[in-house]
Amino acid sequence: ILFEVVDSYASVLRDQALIEIQRRSVDSYQRQVDQARARERGGDLTRTDIAQAEAQLGIIQTQLAQAEANLQRSRARFAAAVGRNPGELEPPPPLPGVPPSVDMAFRVAQAESPTLWQAILNERAGRARIAAERAERNPILSADAAIGINNPTSIGFGGLERGASASATLTIPLLTGGVVASRVRQAIANQQALAFTVEATRRGVDSQVQNAWNQSVSSSEQLATGERAVQAAEQALTGVRRGFQE
């Protein structure tokens, strides 16, 4: 639930930013189409140039529609996880507890992963069931004792006497028809299957940690690359504006 809240929160902010970018792109391409039409009327451009500009505008409008649909989907996820629609969301703070290295991430996952610990505890319960089934072969000693007052004659209350009794029973299973042995073998097989599940779960947790770490590194690199691309685009825009002014 906590992961879904964080993921949907970040998704809403991401989709809102993408919509803002797409809307600015639509405005920019719309101006380009208007300028191309004006230049076509002046004989500077052909109808093919206008068609290409309109096609590019249509692509950007399609991307804007897809971004708006993604935002509605993210808002629905947010409402399902949190219980209300998202309002004005603040930028998320840095995630706490992120391991500084992938090796530390592996160690933390091995020590704290609830999925892995569930598999480990199930395997321990399987070993306990083996011991319980083997205990069915052991002798059973039961004891019983009683003390009270009775009346041997059953006439009046003059002949009341105190009485006490005790008994012990020793039960030794001799012939079980192979039932106990069969249950022990079944418990051993179940414990072995649970041990394999522990190993499979451990490998799955390691794979998830590796994928999450690689995705985090890739996202950081994409963010840095995107920031450099924005700076280059801003410089190019400044140069184009100066060219038009001249």
pLDDT of 11-64, one tens digit each?
A: 999 999 999 988 888 888 888 888 878 877 777 767 777 788 888 888 888 988
Phi/psi region, residue 178 (left: phi>0; alpha: psi -120 to 50; beta: rest), is left
What pTM did the predictor assign? 0.58
CA atoms of 194 and 124, how far apart (whole Å): 9
Q: At what angle do helices 114-134 and 102-112 cross, to 10 degrees?
A: 40
Report the chain's mean pLDDT, rounded to a whole number.
87
| pLDDT attached to residue 124 | 95
b/e sequence 18-50, b meaning 16+ C-beta within 10 Å: bbeebeebeeebeeebeebbeebeeeebeeeee
| pLDDT attached to residue 158 | 62
Does the pLDDT at position 10 exceed 90?
A: yes
Q: Which tokens in the block code for residue 224?
A: 């840095």
Q: Which tokens in the block code for residue 88?
A: 């004005």
The set of long-range contacts for 105-114, using a CB threshold of 8 Å and a minimum separation of 24, is 105/209, 105/212, 105/213, 106/206, 106/209, 109/205, 109/206, 109/208, 109/209, 110/202, 110/205, 113/205
Q: Which tokens in the block code for residue 25?
A: 């792109």
Confidence of residue 94 (pLDDT cuts 50, 70, 90): confident
Residue matched to tokens 């190019």: 236
- Dihedral pair phi/psi, residue 162, rounded to 5°: -85, 145
Residue matched to tokens 């930028």: 91
